[in-house]
Structure 1
């Protein structure tokens, strides 16, 4: 079985906050030069709020939770709680439910998952997850690569063994070329989280391994 495409996580894999993983840019350039199709898997950053400019939020009909640590406080969560219990039609939407993320100091911090679950518990409403690790998210990524019908030929690189490399990725058949990098969210116990993991120091070594295998197969 050969690799015909690559999906790469960004936060924690290519960069941590504003700090780029050493050698990552050059590795991406080598991957691009190899002609292997690839796409980054985008995560919601704080700046994503700019995408909501022009949208009427006077009477919100949904609570959308992404990675926004400055908003994860009692006042904001209680505001969301009151909105949801006042109107059963208000939806709870989570970009993802990650347990933790690699913060700017390169240490782990709480992700949005616990805060989403707090609202789920308080309101009795189950959040709709629209990002990783849903099947729909990875199907969209495969569509961008033009490989909807052959996910088994796609390599996937990430630092989160659950969200990047599990869930929908496994359901769709991303089980032959799974690359876990020891940056970002990585913890030693992740090595034993799943069979078939290829563990590398960073995205640099993972990409070089993929390029070498691609060259052997072609």
Structure 2
């Protein structure tokens, strides 16, 4: 089957940490040559799309238009715009997340914000968590940028945004609306950006729990590439199989 568009993960699919995956670069070049639209879909909220693009260019020799990069930050902003509750927000997150929300026309407010947005924040404090908790208790709409409980680092698995969300949910007894993969919101917004429907698109990624589940849970065909998180030994135990599985993106014809 020929797909009219692609949603593509980055780390583990196009590159692996700081190491290139040559097949990933060749895959993007084939899409470009065929004129097939694609969107990189990432849960990372610590980097602005410009930085993601620069990383691809500088470290992996992959040149792509800025419009092909769709982060959980952009999806969060798109969600708030569609929700239309107001322009006041309290944010727990890195500078990139905060700056982009402000650039979208929102104002920071601690006491009675319309939204509380929580993403990964390496400088999180008890006071920040307290402000968020009190605002949600007063009725602010609780948004989590992504559900990732952990982040793999050289030190091991450290807390991710999902861990902060769990703490605030415990304190408020309010479940957040979660934006990032594998949830529906980022996938629906990605399809809107491509101008295609779910049946026309293939989700490509290396992580069964996020990338492939994002497709499985949202009616999008999936291509699992065994170049990163999910290994060949894991495949037999998968509850629901991806639509396609390849060892390398060199094995996939667009």
TM-score, normalised relative to structure 2: 0.64
Quickly say closer, same or farther: Cα 1:155–1:70, change in 2 above 3 A.
Answer: same
For residue 97 of structure 2, the aligned residue among 37, 44, 48 is 48
Report the counterpart of residue 174 of structure 1 in structure 2. 220
Name the CA distance, whole Å, in 2 between partners of 1:26 and 1:70.
38
Residues 65, 116 of structure 1: 8 Å contact kept: yes
Report the counterpart of residue 115 of structure 1 in structure 2. 164
Report the counterpart of residue 8 of structure 1 in structure 2. 8
SS of the equivalent of 1:64 reads strand
Name the CA distance, whole Å, in 1 between partners of 2:157 and 2:204.
19
Question: Does residue 149 of structure 2 align to residue 99 of structure 1?
Answer: yes
SS of the equivalent of 1:166 reads helix
Report the counterpart of residue 154 of structure 1 in structure 2. 201
* Bigger relative CO (Cα 8 Å, ≥ 6 apart): 1
Residues 84, 123 of structure 1: 8 Å contact kept: yes
1:161-190 Cα offsets, whole Å, 9 max, x none, are 2222215x2243224x3224432x446775
Report the counterpart of residue 21 of structure 1 in structure 2. 20
Quickly say closer, same or farther: Cα 1:15–1:108, change in 2 above 3 A.
Answer: farther
Report the counterpart of residue 119 of structure 2 in structure 1. 66
Name the CA distance, whole Å, in 2 between partners of 1:27 and 1:132.
22
In the alignment, structure 2 segments of 5+ residues that lack a partner are: 47-93
Quickly say closer, same or farther: Cα 1:69–1:188, change in 2 above 3 A.
Answer: farther
Name the CA distance, whole Å, in 2 between partners of 1:116 and 1:70.
15
Quickly say closer, same or farther: Cα 1:52–1:140, change in 2 above 3 A.
Answer: closer
Residues 14, 20 of structure 1: 8 Å contact kept: no
In the alignment, structure 1 segments of 5+ residues that lack a partner are: none
Residues 16, 106 of structure 1: 8 Å contact kept: no
Residues 149, 159 of structure 2: 8 Å contact kept: yes
After the TM superposition, which residues 79-94 of structure 1 pair with which residues of structure 2 at under 5 Å, given as runs? Answer: 79-85=131-137, 87=138, 89-94=139-144
**Greater alpha carbon shift after TM alignment, 130-139 vs 54-63:** 54-63
1:56 deviation in Å?
2.5
Report the counterpart of residue 177 of structure 2 in structure 1. 128
Report the counterpart of residue 70 of structure 2 in structure 1. none
Name the CA distance, whole Å, in 1 between partners of 2:146 and 2:225.
19
Report the counterpart of residue 86 of structure 2 in structure 1. none
Name the CA distance, whole Å, in 2 between partners of 1:68 and 1:187.
30
